[in-house]
Amino acid sequence: MATGLVTGMGFAETTMPSQTKFKLKYAPHFGMFENHAGKDLFDQLQFCADQGFTAWEDNGMMGQSPEMQTRLGQKMRDVGIEMGVFVADAEWGKPVYALGGEETRANLKKKAENAAECAKRVGAKWMTVVPGPYDLRLAWDYQTANVIDCLKTMAEVFEKDNLVMVLEPLNPYRDHPGMFLSKIPQGFQICKAVNSPACKILFDMYHQQITEGNIIPNIDLAWSEVAYFQCGDNPGRQEPLTGEMNYRNIFKHIAGKSKDMIIGMEHGKSQGGKEGEIKLLNAYRWCDDF
């Protein structure tokens, strides 16, 4: 393998970087390093632990069998990896949360109970919730009140086990038009209204660079209600250093506030094969060098 491709960032993109622990808790997902680790999920966890990662996330964890969830949770504990988010509920088609109602809240309570059981098996604390589309025929403030009531119902379930649902604002311009929750200040307002330690914000910096920018100031303003981060560069939603975002400065700012936050690597790779995986690792090593 060639090792002489040195970039302006000061490293050879095709050379495997050092394997020391990262300063922050960056969380890969299954499939991200399968060219090196193979397709076995346990081997992928081991590979990432060997590379210095101390966190993980898997949106589809609830789709695994209870037995597999338990085994994966144990493997993470064995290799020193902390489980980040999985998706507890993501509504894409109907304004379920925005319309609310007693039947909806009862259904969401059951979903929360199922998610809580998964969280216990895998050792997770945080679960993603996407409140779904808005309704075109109902005033916005009524919809906001309905969303808050739904989330209060779910929070009551999660509070019992000290679990946290994290609400993810999604960009409406490129990926998710029509979703109710799109901005960090909106998420902040809703979390304040729910008023529960079990309801916080998932600050996906890729989405918010598109929706509103102002990443570092919004991190500061919303900090009391932020429990989790995700990243991806813009445009392209690939690894850091492929777009316009200065992730070294952003990570440094987050580290100055707390080194305990998990930062989910919810993005793709700009290059395929083993070379692309090494490029991704080098990008995080460079951004983590602050």
| Alpha-carbon span 45 to 286, nearest angstrom | 22
* pLDDT score of 13: 60
| Alpha-carbon span 282 to 17, nearest angstrom | 6
* pLDDT score of 1: 35
* pLDDT score of 14: 64
* pLDDT score of 2: 36
Instruction: Tell whether pTM > 0.75.
Output: yes
The H-or-E segment that residue 152 falls in is: helix 140-159
Q: 290 near 251, Cβ under 8 Å?
A: yes
Q: Which residues are within 8 A (CB) of 128 and not within 5 positions of it... i.e. 6 or more apart?
A: 59, 85, 86, 87, 88, 90, 165, 166, 168, 202
| Per-position pLDDT tens, the chain of length 290 | 333 333 445 555 667 777 899 999 999 999 999 999 999 999 999 999 999 999 999 999 999 999 999 999 999 999 999 999 999 999 999 999 999 999 999 999 999 999 999 999 999 999 999 999 999 999 999 999 999 999 999 999 999 999 999 999 999 999 999 999 999 999 999 999 999 999 999 999 999 999 999 999 999 999 999 999 999 999 999 999 999 999 999 999 999 999 999 999 999 999 999 999 999 999 999 999 99
* pLDDT score of 17: 76
* pLDDT score of 11: 52
Name the residue among 24, 60, 22 with its Cα closest to residue 41.
60
If DSSP codes are grouped into helix, strand and coil, which group holds residue 183? coil
* pLDDT score of 3: 36
Using a 10 angstrom Cβ sphere, with 0-12 exposed, 13-18 middle and 19 or more buried, the burial of residue 140 is exposed
For the chain, the domains span 25-287
The H-or-E segment that residue 205 falls in is: helix 205-211
If DSSP codes are grouped into helix, strand and coil, which group holds residue 83? strand
| Homologous superfamily assigned to 25-287 | Divalent-metal-dependent TIM barrel enzymes (3.20.20.150)
Which structure tokens are listed for 205? 């910096």
| Alpha-carbon span 239 to 202, nearest angstrom | 19
| Alpha-carbon span 20 to 23, nearest angstrom | 9
